[in-house]
Amino acid sequence: MDIEERLREAELEIADRRPEHQISPTLDRIATLTSMLGDPQRAYQVIHVTGTNGKTSMTRMIDSLLRERGLRTGRFTSPHLVSMRERICVDGVPLDAERFVEIYEELLPLIQLTDDRQSAPLSFFEVLTGMAFAAFADAPVDVAVIEVGMGGRWDATNVADGAIAVIGPVAMDHTQWLGDTIEAIASEKAGIIKPGAVAILAQQPQVAAAEVVLEHAAAVGATVAREGIEFGVLGREMAVGGQSLTLRGLRGTYDEVYLPLFGAYQAGNAACALAAVEAFAGVAQVIATDSGSLELGPGLNSAGLDTDLVRDGFGKASSPGRLEILRRSPTVIADSSHNPAGMAATIEALHESFRFTRLIGVLAVAADKDVTGVLEDLEPVLSHIVVSGNSSPRSMLAAQLGELAIEVFGEDRVIVRDRLDDAIEAAVGLADESAGPDDIPGGNAVLVTGSVVTAGDARALLAPGRAADGDVPPPPGTPSRHSFTVGDLS
C-alpha cells in the first residue's frame, strides 16, 4: 500500500473516534495508555501551555526560542490546519507520513487494549496525545512544548508534569464543558500547574481569573511570574510584516526584537514565551517578596539570555492561520479567532497593522460557540459579511448562521453561501466591485475567520502549496480537511 494512502487511512481511523471537543473528564484512559508505553512523557522536560486564546502562538514561539538555544524539541499543538501531522513536530518539523503511520501502528495494539479496559474508548485527542508523547521519547527530544487541548485539569496532556506551566489569557469559551463562570474556567486551566513548577501567568482580562490561578499556584507550592509585573512588553512599534518589540524578561531586557506577527496580543504572547524559556533555562526563579521585588533562587545566576539568540528565535517564529495574508489584490487574510475575546483582539490588530478602506468578512464558525458575540464584534468593522460553513462536522449551517447575522448586520449586508469556496469568491467579488476611482489601491480586503478549521480551509483553497505548518511544505498528496475543490480565485 502506498504510504500516502496508509496515512489517509490512519487519519480517518483516528478521526472516527470520539471528537476532541466531546470531553469525558478523566485521565484514566490516557494514563492507562501511557503506562503501557512506559510513561514516555517522563523521558524529557515539559513546558505546558494553556489559556483560552493564544496557546498555539505561545507554544510555537517557545519552541522557536528553545531550538535557537540548540535544544532538540517536540511540539504538540491543536487543532491542525490541514493535516494531523502538524500537531506532532520534532525540531519544528511535522512528522512525515511514514513516521506518523509507524507511530500509530506501533501504538495500535495498546490503544485497542486500553479501549477494552476502559468504560469508554480513547478519544481522537487522547490517541494523538499518546502518539506525541511516544514520538518525542523515541526522537529523543530534550524538551517538549505541549499545548493543552481544552481546559487543563482533565486534559489528556495533563498526565505530563510541566516544569514550566504557561497560563495565557482566560476568557469565556467551552462553557458547556469547563463551567459558565470565569472562575470555573480559570480553575480548570490552573490544573496544569504542578507542585514545584514555575507558572508564567499572562496578563488577565479579568482579575478573578488571575486570583484563581494564583490561589492554585500557592496551594501546590509553585512559583509565579506575572506579565506586567515580573516581566512584560516595554515597547512596541509597527514594522513591515510584524512589529519591533522591547521585552523585559525575568532577568534581562531585550530590545529591537522583530516579531513577524501582528497585534498587541502577539507581543504579550512573546513576553510570556520569553519568560517561559528564561525560567526553563534556570536564568531566574521568581520569588515575590513583601516589597514586591524579586530574588534569585538557590544556585541560579542573574544573567539573561543572549539578546541575539532572542532576536533570532522570535524572528523565525510563525503562527499560520493567525492574521495570515493568503493573497493580494484584493488582500485576503485568514484568522482563526473563534470566540468574542479572540475576535476583539483580531480586530484591534487589524486596525493597528492595516489601513483598509473597506473590509468584507467571510465567517464560518462552530455551532457551539458564542456566535452572536462574534458577530457583534465584527459588525462595526465589516461593510458586508458572507456567511458559510467549513469542513468540520461542528460547523454551524450557513442558513442558520445567516439568520443570526441578519439580526446583527441587517439583511442588506449579509450574503449566505453554503460552500466556503463560494463564500470567498463572493467576498473577493465584493472587494473588487467596491474599488472605485477614488479608492486607495489595495484599500479593500477580505477577512476569512471564525475557526481554526475555517482558516485551514482557506489556506488549502488559496495557498495550497504553502507549508501547512509554516515550517516545511506538505508532501505531495497530503490529505486536507475539506472535501470540496475550488477554481483559481486569483
Alpha-carbon separation of residue 463 from 323, 324, 388, 427 (angstroms): 14, 11, 19, 17
Cell of 244: 519591533
Q: How high does pLDDT run on average in the chain?
A: 88
Which pLDDT score, from 0 to 100, does residue 301 have? Answer: 47
Model confidence over 212-256: pLDDT tens digits? 999 999 999 999 999 999 999 999 999 988 999 999 999 899 999
The band of 467, judged by pLDDT with boundaries at 50, 70 and 90, is: low
Model confidence over 287-314: pLDDT tens digits? 444 544 443 333 344 568 999 999 999 9
- DSSP type of residue 295: -
What are the residue boundaries of the structural domains of the chain, listed by start?
3-315, 324-462
Q: Match domain 324-462 to its CATH number in 3.40.50.970, 3.90.190.20, 1.10.3210.10, 3.90.105.10.
A: 3.90.190.20
pLDDT greater than 90 at residue 193: yes
Model confidence over 266-282: pLDDT tens digits? 999 999 999 999 999 88
Q: State which amino acid sits at residue 482.
A: H
In this structure, what are the phi and psi dihedrals at residue 229, rounded to the nearest 5 degrees?
A: -125, -70
Query: Rounded to whole angstroms, how far apart are CA atoms 322 and 61?
Result: 13
pLDDT greater than 80 at residue 76: yes
Which segment, 176-180, 363-367, 435-439, is predicted with the most confidence on average?
363-367
Query: Rounded to whole angstroms, how far apart are CA atoms 97 and 5?
Result: 10
Which pLDDT score, from 0 to 100, does residue 82 have? Answer: 85
Model confidence over 87-126: pLDDT tens digits? 999 999 999 999 999 999 999 999 999 999 998 999 999 9
Q: Is there a contact between 46 and 115 (Cβ–Cβ < 8 Å)? A: no
Q: What is the pTM of this model?
A: 0.86
Query: Rounded to whole angstroms, how far apart are CA atoms 387 and 483?
Result: 18
3-315 — its CATH code?
3.40.1190.10
Cell of 161: 508534569
Query: Rounded to whole angstroms, how far apart are CA atoms 177 and 166?
Result: 21
